[in-house]
């Protein structure tokens, strides 16, 4: 068994004991090294991880290239020619490392730690945006940010194509789990991933309250989908999460990873904003009033559901993308998917959107 698999499953081979590394704060850079290669997994919090080449120069460009955020449960394996630099993105982040002679120590180096922190700061802003939004909403008394009901477009797809809801299903960017919980309640085998700890915690609580299995809710970045095996899913659903990815390279990486994890003949459902993001949302009752302010980074008033009714709170607009159905068909088709159907939807969840169904060609 590879070290990567062993650390994911927390089944250390005989003779190897995992090392726990507590990242002291959000500013110290740690170097993890091992003479014969090792694997490391985030066990608490979130970390920025740089996979560095021992023979390569530590330039700023090289650092930007090899850096990615890792959430709880995500792991990385280094061979003998590599080492890791790691910084906590949230307080109290911890890692587990597995390998022979693994060392972990705080480091200072050139480029400066400040340069490294600049790269990390950019990652932090993107990923923390979602976590921050869910937390603010809960702190303001809402049980949920989204509605408790499954997406109207999911129900429509189940009605049109019940045959594709079978085998292993993955809900990409599951949020508080409204679709996953519905599918679990219908007896489906569902894995659900998101980057927000707080949204996932809510989803797990709801699963437990409904007597459903909460073990499929995992913190994973849909751009990388680390630790998920090739060909292991029958159906992948991205309900309103792809339009939160605005960088073309990240979108391409996500789509190609979805292609990898699906079995030949498996299906991919995407519900993606087409235009006028925000129009028709429950949280934006008066679109005309705020449309000019729907600019990432700006704070606008959003409506939330609280115990005794509704309330308006200020929330930052997170980056979003709009794409026509044709543009999406072209973008996703480029990765080998075959378009099966394209339906215009207008729902409270995602406004004016297109729901597309793709199939990975059978081998």
Q: Which residues are near ligand SAM by CB under 6 A?
A: 130, 146, 151, 173-175, 178-179, 193-196, 199, 221-223, 239-241, 244, 349
Bond into 240 cis (ω within 30): no
CB of residue 302 to ligand SAM, shortest distance in Å? 13
Between 94 and 321, name the residue whose CB sits nearer to ligand SAM: 321
- Measured from the CB atom, the residue of 31 and 128 that comes closer to ligand SAM is 128
Minimal distance, residue 172 CB to ligand SAM, in Å: 7
Nearest distance from C-beta of residue 142 to ligand SAM, angstroms: 14
Helix axes 248-261, 325-333, angle to 10 degrees: 60
Paired residues of 71 in beta bridges: 46
Give the residue with the Cβ less far from ligand SAM, 44 or 178.
178
Nearer to ligand SAM, 97 or 200 (CB): 200
Nearest to 69 by CA among 21, 112, 131: 131
With respect to ligand SAM, which residue has the nearer C-beta, 46 or 178?
A: 178
Rounded CA-CA distance 111/29 in Å is: 12
Residue closer to ligand SAM by CB (options 41, 257) is 257
CB of 287 to ligand SAM, least distance (A): 17
The residue of the chain with the least Cβ separation from ligand SAM equals 175
Min separation Cβ 143 and ligand SAM, Å: 14
Tell me the chain's radius of gyration from C-alpha atoms.
Answer: 21
Q: Using the minimum distance from each CB to ligand SAM, give the nearer residue, 115 or 316.
A: 316
Query: Which residues does 79 contact at the CB level (< 8 Å), separation at least 6?
Result: 37
Containing H/E element for 271? strand 262-273
Scanning the structure block, which residue is given the tokens 């519900």?
A: 271
Least CB distance from residue 66 to ligand SAM, whole Å?
Answer: 18
Residues 199/133, Cβ–Cβ less than 8 Å: no
Q: Tell me if 76 sits within 8 A of 51, measured CB to CB.
A: yes
With a CB cutoff of 8 Å and minimum separation 6, the contacts of 152 are 345, 347, 348, 349
Q: What is the DSSP letter of 142?
A: B
Q: CB 184 → ligand SAM: shortest distance, Å?
A: 14
């Amino acid at each position: 068994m590879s070290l990567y698999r062993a650390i994911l499953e927390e089944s250390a081979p005989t003779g190897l004991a995992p090392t726990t590394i507590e990242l002291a704060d959000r500013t110290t850079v740690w170097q993890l090294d091992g003479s014969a290669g090792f694997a490391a997994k985030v066990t608490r919090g979130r970390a920025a991880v740089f996979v560095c080449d021992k023979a390569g120069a530590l330039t700023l460009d090289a650092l930007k290239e090899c850096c990615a955020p890792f959430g709880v449960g995500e792991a990385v394996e280094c061979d003998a020619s590599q080492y890791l630099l790691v910084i906590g993105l949230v307080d109290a982040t911890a890692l587990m490392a597995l390998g022979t002679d693994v060392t972990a120590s705080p480091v200072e180096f050139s480029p400066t730690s400040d340069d490294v922190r600049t790269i990390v700061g950019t990652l932090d802003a993107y990923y923390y945006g979602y976590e921050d939004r869910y937390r603010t909403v809960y702190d303001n008394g809402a049980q949920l940010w989204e509605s408790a009901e499954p997406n109207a477009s999911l129900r429509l797809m189940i009605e049109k194509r019940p045959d594709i809801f079978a085998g292993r299903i993955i809900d990409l960017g599951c949020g508080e789990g409204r679709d996953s919980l519905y599918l679990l309640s219908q007896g489906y085998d569902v894995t659900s991933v998101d980057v927000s700890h707080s949204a996932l915690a809510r989803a797990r609580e709801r699963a437990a309250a409904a007597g459903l299995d909460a073990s499929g809710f995992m913190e994973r970045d849909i751009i990388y989908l680390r630790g998920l095996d090739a060909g292991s899913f029958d159906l992948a659903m991205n309900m309103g999460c792809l339009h939160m990815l605005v960088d073309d390279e990240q979108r391409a990486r996500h789509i190609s990873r979805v292609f990898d994890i699906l079995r030949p003949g498996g299906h991919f459902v995407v519900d993606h904003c087409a235009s006028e993001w925000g129009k028709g949302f429950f949280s934006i009752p008066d679109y005309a009033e705020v449309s000019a302010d729907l600019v990432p980074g700006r704070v606008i008033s959003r409506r939330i559901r609280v115990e005794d009714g509704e309330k308006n709170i200020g929330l930052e607009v997170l980056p979003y993308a709009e794409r026509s159905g044709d543009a999406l068909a072209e973008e996703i088709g480029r990765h080998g998917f075959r378009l099966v159907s394209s339906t215009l939807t207008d729902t409270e969840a995602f406004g004016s959107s297109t729901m597309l169904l793709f199939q990975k060609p059978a081998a």
